[in-house]
Structure 1
Amino acid sequence: MNPQISLPRQHGGQPNFGSVPSRSRSEGLRMPRFFKRLFKFPQMDFEMAIWEMTRLIIAPKKVFRSIYYHTKNTWHRPDPSFTYLLSFFLLLTSLGWGLAYADGVGRTFRIMAVFIFGHFLAVSLLVATAAYFLVGQILGPGVPGLPGRRRGLFVAPGDTEQLEFGYCFDVSIRAFFPIWVFLYVVQFILMPVIARDAYVSVFFGNSLYLLALGYYVVITFLGYNALPFLHHTELLLSPLLVFAVLWVITLVADYDLPKHLAPVLWAGAGLRHGV
């Protein structure tokens, strides 16, 4: 499934998560295109979203290379199709977790809400907000005497060296996809095996967390590395070393992450601690 990728416009304004009108400043700020298209389902490119999901695991670098050309002269893609699609997948997996480990219908609905609005959207917004300020300040082109030049949430037309908040959100929700694959789907399927009291179960279960978090870091790095005006983005890979050290520590201590950590992470959703 290959999406149609169009060439970027050579002239014209640059749309953003919070776009600025190109006619005159007196018109004020227009509604961001992302919110304009929030409920226009026929205009959403779900085919492109599915293509991105298939590439995020096997070839994540291609995803961020295509976003600029697909959105025409902006790094942010004002299309909520990926968010809707991943939320739908989380809805399905929350049903599985609820039927298997929750007590009652009410707690199953609570799991749905926590999975989608807490784990996915709230965490993605927090990560995007932190990246918007920290990455823009530390890794941006900057000005003399400052570590980085702060970019406004609303990007001025024609300014190609602006870190868009919408793009930060694009990166964070795409980095969450492998988390969903490994910790919401694969972990659920393998939970009866990896939660056993055996060292092999500890090894494979803890490696699952390392793989999920490692993918999150790598996809985040690739997302910001695609921006030509950011420098030393390899610093974003530093958490990999921390995760690897923690993985070794858990193996030496014989600490089973799926058995002990999953009930804690999902406890707020109403799951039994006997996961």
Structure 2
Amino acid sequence: MNPHITSPRQYGGPTTFSGMAPSSRSEGIRMPRFFKRLFKFPQMDFEMAVWEMSSLIVAPKKVFRSMYYHKQTKNTWHRPDPSFTYLLSFFLLLTSLAWGLAYADGFSKTIRITLVFVFVHFLALSLAVSTAAYFLVGRLLGSGVPGLPGRRRQGLFGPPGDAAAEQLEFGYCFDVSIRAFFPVWVFLYVIQFLLMPVIAKDYWVSLFFGNSLYLIAYGYYTVITFLGYNALPFLHHTELLLSPLVFLIAAWFTSLFGFNMPRHLAPVLWAGASLRKAV
């Protein structure tokens, strides 16, 4: 009887959100590695998360270059480590308390601001953007559809066989979304909070600097999103992801004729607070 040799699990087959090879039917559905590590704090690489945050402002391309090395060693683009999510959530918690103490009327509204900042602005929005990107980017910018150069169809579980080696992972889409949110937090949740007593005034200079914060924040979000998907070698025409910059610049230029973004779009306003103290 000849022995049957199987390849090690970590080297077999494609990966999805979990960063794990799909198991056989007899093994059933296994919990994704991301959720298994959700509460294993000693195994989280917070040092890497801090390095990524510091690099996202000055050299965001390095962050996604490191993910390419992760693909070479772990056979998955997605990094199943929630340390970045936890760390940015903690920073949002701190800034929400600052916004609440400054502009909320009472403890209950401060708690509401905290919940909205962390679970709606950050987590829910990132999940929504990553879900949309998983289907739209994989479907429109992939490869392999006859008659549509540079595009391929993308389903929830990806194509079978060898084509799955070029599958867009949902976990990677989420990684890109939460990293793109970091500059938004820096400019709109931290810097805007510190400058609010100045940029909320009825002066054109205040309007210019305040509105420019939004242009920079969402411009960073767009560029980092582009760099994230541009790092994937099986996607094509990713420069199309930079097209929102045209709308952002047009909206910023139009707003300079009298629409003060900090007074109407400050994050705390979406949580039911008021900016009367700033104005």
TM-score by length of 1: 0.90
Q: Secondary structure at the match of 2:165?
A: coil
Counterpart-to-counterpart distance in 1, 2:157 and 2:275: 42
Name the residue aligned to 1:105. Answer: 107
Q: Does 1:64 align with 2:64?
A: yes
Residue of structure 2 in register with 1:250 after alignment = 255
Q: Partners of 1:149 and 1:270 in 2: how far apart?
A: 42
Residues 24 and 187 from structure 1, CA distance in 2 versus in 1: closer, same or farther, beyond 3 angstroms? same
Alpha-carbon distance between aligned partners in 2 of 1:92 and 1:126, rounded to the nearest angstrom: 24
Q: Highest CA radius of gyration, 1 or 2? A: 2
> Does the CA contact (< 8 Å) of 1:129 and 1:168 recur in 2?
yes
| Deviation larger for 142-151 or 128-137 | 142-151
In the TM superposition, structure 1's runs of 4+ consecutive aligned residues that sit over 6 Å from their partners are: 154-158
Check conservation: 1:77, 1:167, Cα contact below 8 A.
yes
Task: Identify the residue that residue 192 of structure 1 maps to in structure 2.
Answer: 197
Give the superposed CA RMSD.
2.1
Aligned residue type for 1:152: L
Whole-angstrom distance in 2 between the partners of 1:134 and 1:231: 13
Q: What code does the residue aligned with 1:223 have? A: G
Of residues 196, 209, 216 in structure 2, which corresponds to 1:211?
216
Change (3 A) 1:183 1:22: closer
How far has the Cα of 1:149 moved from its partner?
A: 1.7
CA contact (8 A) 2:19 2:78 kept: no
Normalised to the residue count of structure 2, the TM-score between the two structures is: 0.88
Partner of 2:3: none
Alignment of 1:4-83 (within 5 A): 11-18=11-18, 21=21, 24-70=24-70, 72-83=74-85
Supply the distance in 2 between the matched residues of 1:182 and 1:256 (Cα, whole angstroms): 16
Pairwise CA distance, 1:155: 8.2
Q: Is the 8 A contact 1:124 1:172 kept in 2?
A: yes
**140-149 vs 235-244, greater mean Cα deviation:** 140-149
Partner residue of 1:224?
229
Q: Matched residues in 1 for 2:170 and 2:206: separation?
A: 40
State the alpha-carbon separation in 1 of the partners of residues 51 and 34 from structure 2.
20
Amino acid at match of 1:149: R
- Alignment of 1:178 with 2:183, yes or no, is yes
Q: Provide the rounded CA distance (Å) in 2 between the counterparts of 1:54 and 1:73.
A: 26
Distance 2:165 2:37 in 1: 23
Secondary structure, in 3 states, of the residue corresponding to 2:142? coil
Q: Identity over aligned residues, as a percent? A: 70
Q: Tell me the CA shift for residue 70 of structure 1.
A: 3.1
Q: CA deviation at 1:190?
A: 0.4
Aligned residues: 264
- The secondary structure found in structure 1 opposite 2:48 is helix
Tell me which amino acid in the other structure corresponds to 1:176: F
Distance between the aligned counterparts of 1:19 and 1:25, measured in 2? 18
1:73 CA drift (Å)? 1.7
The whole-number CA distance in structure 2 between the counterparts of 1:156 and 1:29 is: 17
Q: Contact 1:18–1:153 at 8 Å: present in 2 too? A: no
Give the aligned partner of residue 133 of structure 1: 135
Q: Among 137, 150, 153, which residue is 1:149 paired with?
A: 153
Q: Give the match for residue 172 of structure 2.
A: 167
- The one-letter code matched in structure 2 to 1:229 is F
User: Which residue is 1:7 aligned to?
Assistant: none
After superposition, the Cα gap between the structure-2 partners of 1:195 and 1:23, relative to the gap in structure 1 and judged at 3 Å, is closer
- Cα distance between partner residues in 2 of 1:209 and 1:148: 34
Query: What CA distance in whole angstroms lies between the structure 1 residues aligned with 2:223 and 2:66?
Result: 17
Letter in 2 for 1:40: K
Q: 3-state SS of the aligned residue for 1:100?
A: helix
The change in CA–CA distance for 1:96 and 1:113 in structure 2 (over 3 A counts) is: same
Q: CA deviation at 1:134?
A: 0.4
CA separation in 2, counterparts of 1:22 and 1:149?
20
Amino acid in structure 2 at the alignment position of 1:45: D
